[in-house]
Amino acid sequence: MDEIPVIDFFLFSHGNKQAKQMVVKEIHDACSQVGFIYLQNHGMSEDLIEKVFIQSKSFFDLPLKTKQQFAWSDEFSNQGYVGIERERLNPNRPGDLKEAFNLVESRNRVNESSIPESQNTPIHNGYILNFYEACNQLANKVLQALALALELPENFFVDNHSNRKHTLRLLHYPPLEQKPQIGQIRAGEHSDYGSITLLFQDSLGGLEVKTSSSGSNGDFGKWICAPSIPNTVIVNTGDLIQRWTNHVFCSTKHRVIIPDDNRVTQSRYSLAFFCHPNDDTTVTCLESCKKEHPPIYPPILAGDYLLSRLRATY
Ligand SMILES: O=C(O)CCC(=O)C(=O)O
Ligand SMILES: [Fe+2]
């Protein structure tokens, strides 16, 4: 498959058993062949999504000094502001041309007192909290569909995500003011660390996904555009699901390139909701995924895995 399928999610929540099973089958095929889905009729409020984009823009419009008061400090808390070029999603490239703000749920915050409260940041903002909640609900539904697709009890993954260790990330790719360094792009190619990601992007474009089919030059994997499709949410499966499923579901590489037209002078915004299992969940090859080949990876605690990946990025 070398395009990202659009899947109508309405019947998963509102259809009869047979209709629900059809959606599950589509999701199974998409996760095993592409690792990326455009989800339609996902049930999240478009108005809320729009409002969060506005909040995000007003945060990134603040002076750098103000944003730095909320700086990301370490992988244990994984919260706060990450400046331009600080992160390399692909360690072989120069720093990414983006800035970001990570939010975790209040009960999972470390060093809460080190983050000053302010009306001018997204922290403790009603829209952002509602959005986090709505993302959590949608993610749980998608996790139910994934469980059914793997012939597991419907709440298998939901139960393993009960501590809500998810990270909501506001992203801003600023207009380019000078020539980028050789090899420098907006977000280097990478796969996501967690179980699944929900991704919302504005209409500017630039996101690309590496398919499993060969490119024209014979290279394995071809980069295809993943433009924004109105009223859809992108869902992609991450490294932990790939590991859990013994590569039955794939974690697909993706990147954000610099546009080669006048969009380079515009800001791009996106919102990513990275879902992570509970720290004490042992991610070990699922029984239903041992048919093709023996387990590729030894068991690992989800919390240890995430920390090791975050350490490698900063
Ligand atoms: O901004 C985007 O569209 C993609 C961001 C992304 O892939 C990530 O932050 O992991
Ligand atoms: Fe990503």
What percentage of the chain reaches a pLDDT higher than 70? 91
Residue 212, amino acid:
S
Ligand 1 closest atom vs CA 206: 3
Q: What are 160-215's pLDDT values in tens digits?
A: 999 999 999 999 999 998 889 899 999 999 999 999 999 999 999 999 999 887 65
Q: How far is CA 62 from the centre of its chain?
A: 25
Which pLDDT score, from 0 to 100, does residue 124 have?
60
Which pLDDT score, from 0 to 100, does residue 119 have?
42
Nearest one of 6, 52, 245 to 143, comparing CA atoms: 245
Neighbours of 304 (CB within 10 A): 12
Which pLDDT score, from 0 to 100, does residue 289 have?
95
Which pLDDT score, from 0 to 100, does residue 177 have?
84
What is the pLDDT averaged over residues 142-151? 97
Contact 265, 176 (CB under 8 A): yes
Q: Does residue 113 carry a pLDDT above 80?
A: no
CA distance 172 to 60: 7
Ion ligand 2 — residues with CB under 5 Å?
192
Q: Does residue 311 carry a pLDDT above 80?
A: yes
* Residue 76 pLDDT class (50, 70, 90 cuts): confident
Nearest one of 284, 275, 88, 112 to 188, comparing CA atoms: 88
Contact 231, 43 (CB under 8 A): no
Ligand 1 closest atom vs CA 197: 10
User: CA distances (Å), 155 to each of 149, 275, 277, in order?
Assistant: 12, 15, 13
The 3-state secondary structure of the chain reads CCCCCEEECHHHHHCCHHHHHHHHHHHHHHHHHCCEEEEECCCCCHHHHHHHHHHHHHHHCCCHHHHHCCECCCCCCCCEEECCCCCCCCCCCCCCCCEEEEEECHHHCCCHHHCCCCCCCCCCCHHHHHHHHHHHHHHHHHHHHHHHHCCCCCCHHHHCCCCCCCEEEEEEECCCCCCCCCCCCCEEEECCCCCEEEEEECCCCCEEEECCCCCCCCCCCCEEECCCCCCEEEEEECHHHHHHCCCCCCCCCEEECCCCCHHHHCCEEEEEEECCCCCCCEECCCHHHCCCCCCCCCCEEHHHHHHHHHHHHC
Q: Which ligand is nearest to the CA of 208?
A: 1
What percentage of the chain reaches a pLDDT higher than 90? 76
Rounded distance from Cα 187 to ligand 1 centre (Å): 7
Ligand 1 closest atom vs CA 186: 1
**Which amino acids bring their CB within 6 angstroms of ligand 1?**
171, 187, 192, 199, 201, 207, 254, 256, 270, 272
Rounded distance from Cα 88 to ligand 2 centre (Å): 12
Q: Which ligand is nearest to the CA of 201?
A: 1
CA distance 53 to 145: 28
Q: Does residue 111 carry a pLDDT above 80?
A: no
What is the pLDDT averaged over residues 105-121? 55
The overall average pLDDT reported for the chain is 91
ipTM of the complex: 0.99
Kindly list the domain boundaries of the chain, sorted by start residue: 40-197+231-252+271-313
What is the pLDDT averaged over residues 289-301? 94
Rounded distance from Cα 191 to ligand 1 centre (Å): 9
CA distance 74 to 115: 13
Q: Which of 256, 267, 309, 313 to mutate to test the pocket of ligand 1 (most atoms within 8 A of CB)?
A: 256
Contact 142, 149 (CB under 8 A): no
The highest-confidence range among 62-71, 93-102, 235-244, by mean pLDDT, is 235-244
Rounded distance from Cα 192 to ligand 2 centre (Å): 5
CA distance 164 to 130: 14
Q: Does residue 1 carry a pLDDT above 80?
A: no
What is the pLDDT averaged over residues 83-105? 91
What the block records as the tokens of 30 is: 């998409």
Count the residues in the chain: 314
* Residue 52 pLDDT class (50, 70, 90 cuts): very high
CA distance 87 to 34: 26
CATH of 40-197+231-252+271-313, one of 3.40.50.300, 2.60.120.330, 1.10.15.40, 1.20.1050.140: 2.60.120.330
